[in-house]
Amino acid sequence: MSTSGQEKTPRIDPMIDWLQELVEKKDRATLAELRRGLTLEREQLHLLYGVIPPQFVENRSWRDTERRFMLASLFALHPLSFTGSELAARRRNIGDSLRLLARRQREGRGGEASDDSLLPDPLKRRMDALLASRSEDLFEHLRHIVRLLKTKEVPVDWDQLLWDLGHWDDVDQRVQWKWSRSFYVGFDERQKGGEANVS
């Protein structure tokens, strides 16, 4: 599940390619500068303008730019992505990653790996808090979530997360619906295609 230049990953946004290249080139200095965003308040994220190439933020609203800075900081903390073949089959969201985390935690304690009905209460509480959060509070919640995912080397679909952050405030709350379903119910392999939100 590592990032590999060998596999072509379906992309939604070219900024993710740039982030992946930082990992492939082992550009630890830039990744460290991006991680500095994790120590900043949302209102201070503008300090990352000097790190992220201008083409990824030009002609974008300050809100969209802020989301991109948030995602870049989170990526630098845990730059593990689903493989290209996994993402070609279907896109993943944070609910999918958290469900996979629950499975790995259960395996680590010697539980049945296939028993998806046993989601740990602390993870449920974390997910519920995330789903109920306003966009202003998302960065703080996601910092904790990504740190948890890192502990068990659970990948993230960074393209999908960037798209989801941009649609968090949609009236229909489809992002929250999909994250919740992915975490609590799981993905039905009998469904055709994925749940990509790329339009």
Answer yes or no: do 98 and 180 share one domain.
yes
Q: How many other β-carbons are positioned within 10 Å of the β-carbon of residue 116?
A: 14
For residue 82, is it within any domain? no
On whether residue 4 sits in a domain, the answer given is no
2 lies in some domain: no
Domain boundary among 50, 77, 104: 77
SS3 156: strand
CA–CA distance from 83 to each of 10, 13, 114 (Å)? 10, 16, 21
191 within some domain: no
User: What confidence score (pLDDT) does residue 50 get?
Assistant: 94
- Indicate whether 106 belongs to any domain: yes
What are the beta bridge partners of residue 156?
Answer: 81
Distance CA 128, CA 165 (A): 17
Q: Does a structural domain hold residue 147?
A: yes
Say how far apart CA 188 and CA 176 lie, in whole Å: 18
Residues 53 and 105 in one domain: no
- The parent domain of residue 141 ranges over 94-184
DSSP 10: P
Task: With respect to residue 166, please indicate whether it lies within any of the assigned structural domains.
Answer: yes
Say what the pLDDT of residue 111 is.
Answer: 60
| 101 shares its domain with 171 | yes
pLDDT at 10: 59
Per the structure, the count of domains in the chain is 2
User: Are 79 and 19 within 8 A, CB to CB?
Assistant: yes
Q: Is the distance from CB of 186 to CB of 92 less than 8 angstroms?
A: no
Q: What is the pLDDT of residue 41?
A: 85
From first to last of its 199 residues, the chain has per-residue pLDDT tens of: 444 444 555 567 999 999 999 999 999 999 999 999 999 888 888 899 999 999 999 999 999 999 999 999 999 999 999 988 888 888 999 999 999 999 998 886 766 555 555 799 999 999 999 999 999 999 999 999 999 999 999 999 999 999 999 999 999 999 999 999 999 998 765 444 444 444 3
Contact yes or no for 175/164 (Cβ under 8 A): yes
* Same domain? 128 vs 162: yes
Could you say which of 77, 103, 131 is where a domain stops?
Answer: 77
Whether the CB-CB separation of 95 and 174 falls below 8 Å is answered with no
Please report the pLDDT score of residue 112 as a whole number: 58
In a shared domain, residues 72 and 114: no
Residue 190 within a domain:
no
